[in-house]
Structure 1
Amino acid sequence: MSAATTTAPMDAGPIVLEKTQIKSWKAPIALGVFAVISVILFIGLPREGTSSFRFTEPGDAIKLSVLTVPTHATGVIVAIICVLLAATSWYLVWRVGKSPLWLAIVFVAVFMFGFLTWAAAGHTVPFTGLLLGSVSLSVPLVFGALGGVISERGGVVNVAIEGQLLAGAFAAAVIASATRNVFAGLIGAMVAGVLVSFILGAFAIKYLVDQVIVGVVLNVLVTGLTSFLFSQVLSANPTVLNAPPRLGRFPIPLLSDIPIIGPVLFNQSLIVYLMYIAIFAVWFGLFHTRWGLRLRSVGEHPRAADTVGINVTGTRFWNVSLAGAVAGLGGAYFTLVSAPGFGKEMTAGAGFIALAAVIFGRWDPIRATLAALLFGFASYLQTTLGIIGSPVPSEFMLMLPYLVTIFAVAGLVGVSRAPAADGKPYIK
């Protein structure tokens, strides 16, 4: 009996393995849909008159002229550009296999300019105020997204971001009110976030319970617990337990005088400046330190990390706790900056939008931050359009942040890969 063998001809040369390119049509389809919407709105439902954009406020040191554009003509030009960009996306996917991220960014910027021009016919859009409000609404989302990146890079799905934000907001309000010290409130918020993460880590890492189920249960638990304490404890004595001191704005000299970006980025509260530090620290630590290398290794291949002496369980547990501290600090923004005190379910789903930002940002801290800023912009846009008297129905405006979230995650992410061991318990 002889075994049949297959051999290549001696003169056939080296065998070349052709790499198959996976084509993702999500971005072209999404851009195509919005290109059609731009044609319907800006050409099919035209608005006459002019639209203005104000880039500086009366108290700014440097003044910029108001930009005024013809509403209908600008809408037509924007619709044509959107159609061309969508067609370019389709062509690139057909020829190359993927649509570049910059193309989607340019499309979004052009479409939003056209939409604001169309909605603000006969009115003036306070552009600096729009950006300032967007950043303010994005702060908790950014902290939550950073916490999600840290946790999921280590292999633990962090669905409990909502609970961590809410626990941080509650603890910051109570502790800052009782001590009359905002710094004590910030520390208390971080501790509260760590406690929620401690429970997540104990069940998901130690007892191998499904991480998504634990996260959902924790969100429900924190929501119920804080609502009960608010009704039974805080409401009974609000002046002592729910009247925290405020964190005011601290303008950075010279930088805060830069037109547009100065008031938006450099005339903010302490928590926003801590956010800048956190973004850089997580990015640098994740990709340029031994801590980040170990964290990513237990999230990608925990068995290989274990063989070289890394404590997989301990690394995951402590980094999930760190993620909770970061998210808890974002929760403090609700009660120490954004609102005068704690209210029931005041996070209003911000944790889930932060989780979407993690996915949209492909588990990268910088991209996740940009995604959080996009969602914050969509949230504040409804307020701005309401002020200028937009013809868009108010019911649609209330849905806008969540529609943008769905569009971004389902339409623009394309083919993305989570850390290989994300959500998978490690059994040594």
Structure 2
Amino acid sequence: MSKRYKIMAVLLVVFLSLLIIGEATQPEPVNWFPGYGKQDKIPFGTYVFYDQLPSIIDKDRLEDVNIPPFEFLLDSTDPPEGTYLFLNSSVYNDASESTKILDWVAKGNTLFVASKAISETILDSLCLNTEYLSETSELKKRPLANLSNPSLKASKPYRLNKDVGTVYFDQIDTTQTTILGVYDLIRNNDSTKILEPKVNFIKTPYRKGTVILNTFPEGFTNVFMLDSLNASYTAKALSYLPKEGKIYLDQHYKNSKAKAVSPLYLILTNKYLKWSWYTLLIGALIWIYFEGKRKQRSIPVIKPLPNQTLDYTRTIAGMYLDKKDNHQIAMHQINHLLEYIRSSYTLATDHRDSAFIEKLAAKSGVEQATVKNLIDYTITIRQKAVVTEDELIKLNSLIENFKNSH
């Protein structure tokens, strides 16, 4: 390495070192990401909520649910009973899952959702509609909230000192729906009262059950609950939950992950380790650059091997057809079908019972009778020692019909 390159390398390292020291000594910026995770201690996390929840509700009644509601409520013979509580900036169940939840509520259970975005299926079923509050006359968009019940209503509304988007119910069935709370943005710098109340907290019956909806999920977050003036809002909102029965706390519909998904998580979440890691990477790149310039040689072009997969497949298929081994061909077709189910619908195929058939029909969108006919026929074929040509053709038709039906 020449003297010139050495001087440039030293200057570059000194510059990067000063830059890294400057960045590492800066205070950590506030993370305003709306995570709503149980473990999140950021402003819009829910660590305080879940930490204080056992002091409001008996902890023996609380149970975390880490799977989708569709799977949790799948057992139609003995489904869980109680209250299903969702808390996130968005809880948008698809149509089939929303129907499953409403059917569960109709049996006498309770659904509690604190979210800005709620499933259209649920809203339509309850004759509700939401609307964003998009007024722009005020520069700040800081909401005020309060409860409607005189015994729970505070003398001054609860305030969130952070600009956030607001959603309210602009259409409700007044004959069935009970208004539990209202909110609005601060107007004319007056935070002592809600000047133009908008409905954000309601309770409505659904057959034998009850649905409670709140479009102000920030009222359950760390930044809101740690304000001493807001301490009672969350507890009062939870007072509308049933006094008995299990309360299932959804941990699936969360913006943040409960577990680290990267092996570098511990390094990248610590600013000192993070910058040490970046320094290592930059040093490695500098070393590769200078070493590569001195030692790099031309790389010969190697012609890739031809793809003979199609010819191989034709040869193997011809061998089976010549032997008329229908049983072996049927086994291959069934194995390919099971692999297709595993890869396309993430279902285990070890036990192909009625529960498996119900899950496959739900995920594929194919009628349950069609799926059952296919699975039963594959089981029958597997048990046969000899497969006729007509049976092989029927098997192929059933498989093709299933794949083309969704």
Larger radius of gyration: 2
Could you say which TM-score interval applies, normalised by the shorter chain?
under 0.3
Judging by fraction of residues, say which structure has more strand. Answer: 2
Judging by fraction of residues, say which structure has more helix. Answer: 1
Higher RCO, 1 vs 2 (CA within 8 Å, ≥6 residues apart)? 1
